[in-house]
Amino acid sequence: MSLIGKEVEPFKAQAYKNGDFIEVTEEDFKGHWTVVCFYPADFTFVCPTELEDLQEQYPKLQELGVEVFSVSRDSHFTHKAWHDTSEKIGKITYGMIGDPAHVLSRNFDVYVEDLGQADRGTFIIDPDGVIQAVEINAEGIGRDASTLINKIKAAQYVRKNPGEVCPAKWEEGEETLKPNLDLVGKL
């Protein structure tokens, strides 16, 4: 069942961000664009490379009005310990949500029951708290956070320009399409 077009379900979780423990709810995903990045677990192998890559893109995402949260099965205490001991994770300034009860990973349909952890899932959420894009990878396949930039720009463009759509490989400033009968069979 696709989560595209669905509003984020209510939740309450603890997170670690910039030296503080904070509470995060679905309301924190509203009023701006949000990227939620699920990963299996702290103190692993592919995960720190992905989260560091996401941090490298974080300033560009913030310029687009996007907030970022990572989520794993670990507690906010474990996130702090990892942040304090890992060179890669120590760079992170976005919120790291703890999901030890698997509420979020189940809500976002990325929970792997027999492993007790989440798949690598990336979700782009609009300012109304509605999921607009989803990418899910198997445990051993790392993601490239730079691909989020054009996806978010396209989602923002479509939101601001009803009736227009962005074709494959669309980049900001390029032509879009206005679906209508005249285009049928001509693309």
Could you list the active site residues? 47
Residue 133's beta-bridge partner residues? 124
Residue that is written with structure tokens 């879009």 in the block: 176
Q: Which two tokens stand for residue 118?
A: 């989440």
What are residue 179's phi and psi, to 5 degrees?
Answer: -55, 130
How far CA 115 is from CA of 34, 40, 101, 111, in Å, comes to 27, 9, 13, 9
Give the C-alpha separation, 78 to 181, whole Å: 55
Query: Hey, what are 95's tokens?
Result: 């919120």
| Burial (Cβ within 10 Å: 0-12, 13-18, ≥19) of residue 184 | exposed
